[in-house]
């Protein structure tokens, strides 16, 4: 009988009789998978048959030490392999090579021996498997079976991401066969984590919105009042622009004609021109749009110094930048509160500027018209 077939039958019976079912990952399926990977790497590395045989035997026995638990199981596995090989007439030199390979499967063991490196790569070949998520879930179940404190899927995903980043394939063939597939599984794991984080943020957003109904009502009321006052200011400014434009187009030509005949009318004419022009300037300033940058930096968003609910702060940003910024604001109650406060504050500042210019406009117009009337009365009296 072929030695590999015989050893496989022995290990299969050994697992069925001695390995506790609580070891959901380190079972016979894992051993046979490592055996297949080890043989594949060894053959692609163009090793002679004896070395391929050594690696296969080591792969078959490398987890038999789980008969007494995970701690130091590599040493027990090496001893079980030695006992089996001695019974079947193998020499000590061969046995020592098998034992060396098995000991090298201890996590993060550094080895310069090619055979040991091949078995190390085969032992973590599951990281590149298309069934990676099923395999890693079996390992999580196994760890939960062995300890009182249970590992959540969130914690396990985080651990797996770091583990996949830390693990590297030692042999050139191992890198060619598994590295890119392992990186693909890592990317899928990170994407899965990001999706869960996104779902969590969406849930937080919903909770934030639901828990701030009163604040929303107050904000909507204040915003509506600001908009109404802004419309009133714009209407008042438009009225002043229209009145002064009418005076300049109707009354001013009449006074200019009068000034041609009587130079005393020149003073009321100049005063009226100045009053109307200054009033129109202030009215225009009251309705002139403010300067807008159109972009909010990522630093401003993360430091909660941004208001992305005003178009002037984002109209030059890309959709992706704006979406990312708004999601950050909505997922953080402090950022949302700061954004609302900043929105009301700068709306108030803008509105204050409008009414300041309007007040100056009306004052200039009121006192200027009085001065024009008095100057005309003086001219007529004289």
Do 219 and 177 belong together in one domain? Answer: no
∠ Cα 211 217 220 (to 5°)? 130
C-alpha to C-alpha distance for 303 and 13, rounded to whole angstroms: 63
**Phi/psi zone of residue 294: left (φ > 0), alpha (ψ -120 to 50 degrees), beta?**
left
- How many Cβ atoms are within 10 Å of 190's Cβ, its own excluded? 15
Same-domain pairing of 272 and 171:
no
Tell me the residue range of the domain where 289 lies: 214-381
pLDDT (tens, 9 = 90+) of the chain, 382 residues, equals 488 999 999 999 999 999 999 999 999 999 999 999 999 999 999 999 999 999 999 999 999 999 999 999 999 999 999 999 999 999 999 999 999 999 999 988 888 899 999 999 999 999 999 999 999 999 999 999 988 888 888 888 889 888 988 889 999 999 999 999 999 988 888 887 555 555 555 565 555 545 556 666 777 777 788 778 888 888 888 888 888 888 888 877 877 777 777 777 788 888 888 888 899 899 888 888 777 777 777 777 777 677 777 777 777 888 888 788 777 777 766 677 777 777 778 888 888 888 898 999 999 989 988 998 888 888 777 6
- How much is the pLDDT for 1? 44
Considering only CA atoms, which of 336, 298, 291 is closest in space to residue 317? 298
23: left (phi over 0), alpha (psi -120 to 50) or beta: beta
C-beta contacts of 104-112 below 8 A and 24+ residues apart: 105/62, 105/74, 106/74, 108/166, 111/170
Domain end marker among 163, 185, 207: 207
Judgement on whether residues 222 and 145 belong to the same structural domain of the protein: no
Instruction: Please name which of 319, 311, 270 lies closest in space to residue 294, comparing C-alpha atoms.
Output: 311
Of 183, 207, 231, the residue that ends a domain is 207
* 125 and 67 within one domain: yes
What CATH number does residue 49 fall under? 1.10.3210.10
Q: Do 251 and 138 belong to one domain?
A: no
Q: What is the DSSP letter of 111?
A: -
pTM of the model: 0.53
Say how many C-beta atoms besides its own lie within 10 A of residue 330's C-beta: 19
Residue where one domain finishes, among candidates 182, 207, 232:
207
314 shares its domain with 179:
no
If asked whether residues 236 and 112 sit together in one domain, one would say no
pLDDT at 197: 56
| Pair 263, 127 in one domain | no
Query: Do 147 and 247 fall into the same domain?
Result: no
Q: Of the candidates 89, 88, 86, 96, which has an alpha carbon nearest to the alpha carbon of residue 54?
A: 96
Is the separation of the CB atoms in 107 and 168 below 8 Å?
no
- Pair 279, 346 in one domain: yes
Number of independent structural domains in the chain: 2
Q: Which pair of tokens denotes residue 129? A: 């498997």
Q: Are residues 219 and 323 in the same domain?
A: yes
Residues 243 and 126 both lie in one domain? no
């Amino acid at each position: 009988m072929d030695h590999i077939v015989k050893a496989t039958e022995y290990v299969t019976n050994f697992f069925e009789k001695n390995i506790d079912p609580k070891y959901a990952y380190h079972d016979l399926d894992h051993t046979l998978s490592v055996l297949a990977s080890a043989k594949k790497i060894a053959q692609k590395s163009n090793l002679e048959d004896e070395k391929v045989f050594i690696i296969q035997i080591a792969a078959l026995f490398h987890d038999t030490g789980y008969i007494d638990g995970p701690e130091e199981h590599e040493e027990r596995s090496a001893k079980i392999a030695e006992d089996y090989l001695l019974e079947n007439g193998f020499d000590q030199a061969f046995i020592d090579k098998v034992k060396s390979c098995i000991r090298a499967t201890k996590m993060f063991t550094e080895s310069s021996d090619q055979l040991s490196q091949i078995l190390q790569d085969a032992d973590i070949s599951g990281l590149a498997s298309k069934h990676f998520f099923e395999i890693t879930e079996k390992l999580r179940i196994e760890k939960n079976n062995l300890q009182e404190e249970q590992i959540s899927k969130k914690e396990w995903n985080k651990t797996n991401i770091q583990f996949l980043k830390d693990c590297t394939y030692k042999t050139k063939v191992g890198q060619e066969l598994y590295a890119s597939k392992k990186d693909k599984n890592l990317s899928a794991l990170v994407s899965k984590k990001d999706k869960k984080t996104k779902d969590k943020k969406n849930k937080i957003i919903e909770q934030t919105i639901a828990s701030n109904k009163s604040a929303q009502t107050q904000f909507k009321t204040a915003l509506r009042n600001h908009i109404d006052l802004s419309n009133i200011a714009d209407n008042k400014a438009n009225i002043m622009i229209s009145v002064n434009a009418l005076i300049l187009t109707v009354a001013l030509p009449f006074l200019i004609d009068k000034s041609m005949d009587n130079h005393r009318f020149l003073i009321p004419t100049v005063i009226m021109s100045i009053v109307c022009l200054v009033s129109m300037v202030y009215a225009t300033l009251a309705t002139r749009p403010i300067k807008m940058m159109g972009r909010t930096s990522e630093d401003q968003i993360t430091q909660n110094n941004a208001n992305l609910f005003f178009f002037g702060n984002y109209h030059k940003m890309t959709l992706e930048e704006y979406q990312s910024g708004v999601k950050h604001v909505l997922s953080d109650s402090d950022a949302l509160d700061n954004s609302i406060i900043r929105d009301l504050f700068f709306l108030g500042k803008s509105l204050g500027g409008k009414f300041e210019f309007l007040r100056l406009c009306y004052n200039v117009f009121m006192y200027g018209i009085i001065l024009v009337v008095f100057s005309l009365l003086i001219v007529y009296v004289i």
